[in-house]
Structure 1
Amino acid sequence: MTGFVLFGTTGWGSALVEAQFDYYGLDYRFETVGDLFKDPEARAKLENVNPLKQIPTLVLPNGQVMTESAAITLWLAQYTGRDDLVPGNGAPEQAAFLRWLIYLVANVYPTYTYADDPSRFVSVEAAQAPFKAAINAYRERLWRIVEDVAGDPWFLGTRFSALDLYVGVMTHWTPRQSWFAANAQTLDAIASQAKALEALQHFWERNFPET
């Protein structure tokens, strides 16, 4: 048996899972993939493990492969036997947690998939700029919906969870922190608190050294 291996790229979607490994204090090896949009070798390397060539991709100690950050989030909570990141059965926050976890990965996260490389979805090069602009505007609308339901001081109110780590990571991506500071102050405050967590200082420095 080998240990956990997390395939990823610094600051990319793999950071959503990397943050949880660091928070739980689990041992793992981070296998740097590289730029999946620009480097054919990076895509070839990941394809050997995940045919979708997407990150995060996690190899469990028994060799089984897991993908999809929400699935990994729920699995890690069961694996560790802890409920500090994922509310357990019977917890009053569980329904809201599950709803907004899936909202982030099923609605907001795909906008990056579409906009990062429009050529995969729009064949005419001239159409790619308006396509990307439309996706960016739609993403901002999705974030405003999240802003309207976010609690204080954490997303679920007084209850810290993995949602706060997702917000902390994703506010580094387009439309960037300045947009959140101006248009989504509750989410911006949640992100700031997540970045102040002592257990994750090295994580933030590795992935987002500019902040």
Structure 2
Amino acid sequence: MPFRLYQMPGWGSAIVEAQLVFYGLPHELVETGDIYEDAAARAALGRINPVAQVPALVLPSGEAMTESAAMTLYLADAAGSEALVPGPQAAERAAFLRWLVFLVANIYPCFTFADVPTRYVAEAGAAKAFRAAVDARAEALWRAVEAAAGAPWFLGERFSALDIYIGVMSHWRPRPAWFAAEAPKLAAIARSVQARPELAAVFARNFG
């Protein structure tokens, strides 16, 4: 059985899709529909992921996984590869784990809360202000990532899954123009990731 990735083009599932393609792991893509706007789509995904978020990954065993960072570590093991995840003895291991968790624990929730702020703040004016505050927090967090970034890749000479995260997440708020102006090292990483031949088709499918 292949891996089955529940996804929507351009959403966070692109991070996991890129890793499946990079490793050459057999997989199929299942489009969930807009889980914010479609109650039926949300309910269907909720049977796999109780919080109805993408990505959700069903393993060849039939077991379901959620949380992209967990998938990142699992897929490296499944592929028997250290190409995207530095191994236990690698000098870059600690930095990789630190910034992987930073991205998913600090920046990723900014989209959870601010993509559709009326889920959390009912009044329209307050929701707009809430979104602006969360977006400002995301920009501050991205500046911390920029300060830690190496070249040509986040970890320096070593390409990793962190670069895939940056390549995907740079398409979201605050958008590529902001990264180009305010986080040029991250913008350069994103461009390089998207140009990698083994990943170009994934980025084209997700972002055009």
In which range does the TM-score fall when normalised by the shorter chain?
over 0.9
Structure 1: give runs of 5+ residues left out of the alignment. none
Q: Distance in 2 between matches of 1:206 and 1:90?
A: 35
1:163 counterpart residue number: 162
Q: Distance in 1 between matches of 2:67 and 2:50?
A: 13
What is the deviation of 1:126? 3.0
2:39 counterpart residue number: 40
Q: 1:10-43, CA deviations, whole angstroms, 9 ceiling, x for partnerless residues?
A: 0101111001001111110100011111111211
Structure 2: give runs of 5+ residues left out of the alignment. none
Q: Distance in 2 between matches of 1:185 and 1:3?
A: 38
What is the deviation of 1:119? 2.3
Q: Distance in 1 between matches of 2:151 and 2:201?
A: 25
1:23-172 map, 5 Å: 23-172=22-171
Q: Distance in 2 between matches of 1:126 and 1:176?
A: 23
Query: Which secondary structure state, in structure 2, belongs to the residue aligned with residue 73 of structure 1?
Result: helix
1:186 counterpart residue number: 185
TM-score by length of 2: 0.98
Q: 1:79-124, CA deviations, whole angstroms, 9 ceiling, x for partnerless residues?
A: 1110010000110000000000000000000000000121232233
Equivalenced residues, count: 208
Q: Distance in 2 between matches of 1:5 and 1:183?
A: 37
Q: Distance in 1 between matches of 2:70 and 2:116?
A: 24
Single out whichever of 85-94 and 47-56 deviates more from structure 2.
Answer: 47-56
**Root-mean-square deviation over aligned CA pairs:** 0.9
2:198 counterpart residue number: 199
Q: 1:184-203, CA deviations, whole angstroms, 9 ceiling, x for partnerless residues?
A: 00000000110111101111
Q: Distance in 2 between matches of 1:69 and 1:164?
A: 14
Single out whichever of 9-18 and 120-129 deviates more from structure 2.
Answer: 120-129
**Residue type at the aligned position of 1:118:** P
Percent identity over the alignment? 54
Q: Distance in 1 between matches of 2:22 and 2:191?
A: 16
Query: Which secondary structure state, in structure 2, belongs to the residue aligned with residue 6 of structure 1?
Result: strand
Q: Distance in 2 between matches of 1:196 and 1:190?
A: 10
Q: Distance in 1 between matches of 2:123 and 2:50?
A: 26
Query: Which secondary structure state, in structure 2, belongs to the residue aligned with residue 88 of structure 1?
Result: coil
